[in-house]
Amino acid sequence: MPGAPFGRSVSTMLTNSLQVAAAERAATDTDPRAELAISVRELHKRYGDRDAVAGIDLDVARGEIFAFLGPNGAGKTTTVEILEGFRDATSGQVQVLGVDPAHAGAAWRSRLGIVLQESAPEPGLTVRECLQLYAGYYQAPKSVDETLELVDLLDRSQERAATLSGGQRRRLDVALALIGDPELIFLDEPTTGFDPSARRDAWAVIDGLRALGKTVFLTTHYMEEAERLADRIAIIADGRIVAQGTPKTLGDRDREAAAIKFTLPGDRTLSDLPEALRLAASVDRSGRVSVSSSHVTADLHALSGWALEQKLELDDLEVRRATLEDVYLRLTHYHEDGGRP
């Protein structure tokens, strides 16, 4: 049997059953939540006396790129494996492409593409042969050339899988997950260990999936990746969803005060600043002033007006807003200094 990414699923795919397909189509026709690619309600997974997943709700729309973030041990893999049908839930309702994964069959599975963190495509085969092999498991696979082009491996199609670099291997993994033309793709930390340029290449591939209208469920530890790719993000910590939203609005990021930062010349102190700024200002250990501002335009106007009047240059003046990482660290309780910019 071929190795991952389909290692866990190929044998079940080969036992494709028309009855299962019909039952799945019937479920899709009658359930309004089938409009969603993924719908989860009150999902629990208990190991012994510990809740790895403690009652989570998630909705992922079709065509969406959804990022699932959380610290180590938060419950991501457990949740994803339940969505993929590889693990049973303790309780809760789960629908993936309109079907409960716990009772889904080969026809449903063939609508998923799964890219695991570790994979071992047939090392003796060339890139093209790997894809041809996997294509054989599907009734209506995508064309091998089209798939190779999508992941930018067309010029490597005659190379043996074993000789590919880590980044190229990962692209082959994505190609193998795409060859069945799936509707929903699970990407588990797709760029871990990549250099910055390989990461950007991988992002272009994932953007390509968006353009094809695929739904992508992505786990990642890179905030920049989530920000760059995701339409929506959910953060899980200790088995609970602590925030869901777009990259811009997650955890009220858009409503957080900004910080206007600058260094005062040596002969000036905070008490010299206009009162409205002074009241919202603090100085850090390096002597840099930070003014917490909910009205950035007006506060900058007041500050620059004062500086010009005093004939002062504020060389390192900058406005800083909360980054996705700031929000993530605050929400997952790892931000030791309070989490404000």
Report the interface residues with ligand ATP, using CB under 6 A: 47, 52, 70, 72-78
User: One-letter amino acid identity for 301?
Assistant: H
Ramachandran region, residue 189 (left: φ > 0; alpha: ψ -120 to 50; beta: rest)? left
Nearer to ligand ATP, 113 or 239 (CB): 239
In angstroms, give the least distance from the CB of 332 to ligand ATP.
Answer: 11
In angstroms, give the least distance from the CB of 237 to ligand ATP.
Answer: 9
- Phi and psi for 259 in degrees, rounded to 5? -120, 125
Query: How remote is the C-alpha of 30 from its chain's centroid?
Result: 30
In angstroms, give the least distance from the CB of 70 to ligand ATP.
Answer: 5
**Cα–Cα dist 333/76, whole Å:** 17
Helix and strand numbers (H, E) in the chain are 12, 13
In angstroms, give the least distance from the CB of 222 to ligand ATP.
Answer: 12
Is the Cβ–Cβ distance between 171 and 187 less than 8 Å?
no
Is the Cβ–Cβ distance between 193 and 166 less than 8 Å?
yes
Nearer to ligand ATP, 47 or 334 (CB): 47
Ramachandran region, residue 71 (left: φ > 0; alpha: ψ -120 to 50; beta: rest)? beta
In angstroms, give the least distance from the CB of 3 to ligand ATP.
Answer: 20
Tokens 């760059």 map to which residue?
228
Nearer to ligand ATP, 50 or 285 (CB): 50
Nearer to ligand ATP, 73 or 265 (CB): 73
In angstroms, give the least distance from the CB of 89 to ligand ATP.
Answer: 13
Q: DSSP assignment of 290-302, as one string?
A: EEEES-HHHHHHH
Nearer to ligand ATP, 52 or 307 (CB): 52
In angstroms, give the least distance from the CB of 82 to ligand ATP.
Answer: 10
Query: How remote is the C-alpha of 331 from its chain's centroid?
Result: 16
Nearer to ligand ATP, 76 or 142 (CB): 76
Nearer to ligand ATP, 75 or 247 (CB): 75
In angstroms, give the least distance from the CB of 46 to ligand ATP.
Answer: 9
Nearer to ligand ATP, 47 or 86 (CB): 47
Query: How remote is the C-alpha of 200 from its chain's centroid?
Result: 15
Q: Which residues lie closer than 8 Å to 252 by C-beta, 6 or more apart?
A: none
**Cα–Cα dist 243/251, whole Å:** 6
Tell me the Cα Rg of the chain: 25
Is the Cβ–Cβ distance between 5 and 185 less than 8 Å?
no
Helix, strand or coil, per DSSP, at residue 239: coil
Nearer to ligand ATP, 73 or 305 (CB): 73
**Cα–Cα dist 29/24, whole Å:** 9
In angstroms, give the least distance from the CB of 84 to ligand ATP.
Answer: 13
Q: Which residues lie closer than 8 Å to 3 by C-beta, 6 or more apart?
A: 119, 120, 121, 122
